[in-house]
Amino acid sequence: MENTAERIQEEVQPAAPLTVSPDVVQARAETAPPVVEKPGKLARIIKADRSVPVMGLFVLAVFYTVYFAKPFLLPVMLALFLVFVLRPLVRVLNQRLRLPLPLGSALVVFGLLGALGVGGAVLSGPAMDWIERAPSSMHDIDQKIGKLKRSVQNMQRATQRIDDLTKVEPQNRVREVAMARISFGSMLLAGTQAFMLSAFSVVILVFFLLASGDSLLRKVVKITPSLRDKIKAVEIARTVERDVGRYLLTLTGINLVLGVATTLAMFALGMPNAMLWGAMAFGLNFIPYLGATITLVVLTVVAVLTFDQIGHAALVPVVFLSITTLEGQILQPFVIGRSFSVNPVLVFLSLLFWGWMWGIVGMLMAVPILVTFKILCAHIESLASIHEFMDR
């Protein structure tokens, strides 16, 4: 019993405190991994705020480069779009007729140049006639709308009188300096030289891109590190090329239908040079909204100059407006489909942006650039949210 009581008393007694040597504590502190404190919410906000100015400067630098690199970027972009449209034809010549790629590319390029040359030769005569008749045409328009013009002139005279009554003569007159004006001929010559140089660059670049085939894609695949990335790069390149080419070819076909319909309608209404107005409708319809508006205004002016009866002249804009409405609201959505449709607000902003950057040619390329970017976003997972935002 005594031995049992002594054993229980020893178990109940508290254990002796564990003593650790200072050297052991120091060694454990040196070998322990450093404690990394997670940055707080305020630190993350400060870091994000610092990245915003850098991103803004980067965007401004891109805009600056695109604006001033127009002589280089514009022919390259135009050549790429032409390659997307013409490459299926070159592949047909290569696979079915067994023509080498350089020979097939040369035939396609020369065929395109021949078609443009014939079209220009046929339409240049009527176009120059209308340009030469512009002064007398303006006089005819003045006579036909003389009443409206007299009303506007009366309002201008009244406004001028009010300005004269309220104008205060300055004591010190500012010396006027006459600036030397550049003649129209020199401006036209400079513009023609720049256009010919850009056109020559586009033709040469299109030929080499078509003749090279898939060599550039093979080089990209060769430098890609992993097999998975190689497969994905080939898939994205093929899909984007096919979709962009199909969109551009479809859009060209729709505009061609509009041009033919406009030509037939103008011929039926008795308009002179009906083929010229059809070609104008075909080319300007690549600019959404604005192109059809310009064509409508030009056809209205020509109808007023051509026909004496106002009812006959009014038929021309009414018929063209009906044709372009059917094309824009029924034919184009049915043929192109939802996969290539873009938010109209983004289309209008794209027209403003590229028109500001590159002028009329930029407006012609605004929608193809926007649709190409949307197609690219649709096949890259990290850009899927942008594709959803751009959809109609």
Asked whether residue 365 is assigned to any structural domain, the reply reads: yes
Classify residue 382: in a domain, yes or no. yes
**What are the pLDDT digits (tens) for 47-79?**
555 666 777 788 888 888 888 888 888 889 999
Cβ–Cβ < 8 Å for 109, 93:
no
Judge if 140 and 126 occupy the same domain. yes
Q: Please give the pLDDT value at position 280.
A: 92
The answer to whether residue 4 is domain-embedded is no
136 shares a domain with 90: yes
Is 267 domain-assigned?
yes
Judgement on whether residues 369 and 270 belong to the same structural domain of the protein: no
CA dihedral 324, 326, 327, 330 (to 10 degrees): 150
259 and 138 in a single domain? The answer is no
Q: Same structural domain for residues 351 and 308?
A: no
**Within this chain, do residues 387 and 354 fall inside the same structural domain, yes or no?**
yes
Its pTM stands at 0.69
The H or E element spanning position 309 is: none
- The verdict on residue 27 lying in a domain is no
| Alpha-carbon distance values, 149 to 6, 137, 139, 155, 237 (Å) | 128, 15, 12, 10, 58
| Ranges under pLDDT 50 in the chain | 1-2, 4-5, 8, 11-12, 15-18, 20, 22, 24-25, 29, 35-38, 42, 169, 171, 173-174, 176-180, 184-185, 188
Say if residue 331 is in the same domain as residue 372: no
Structural domain boundaries, residue 116: 67-145+200-213
Which pLDDT belongs to residue 238? 83
pLDDT of residue 37: 47
Question: How many structural domains does the chain have?
Answer: 3
Torsions phi, psi of 207, nearest 5? -60, -45
Instruction: Answer yes or no: do 71 and 207 share one domain.
Output: yes
Per-residue pLDDT at 180: 47
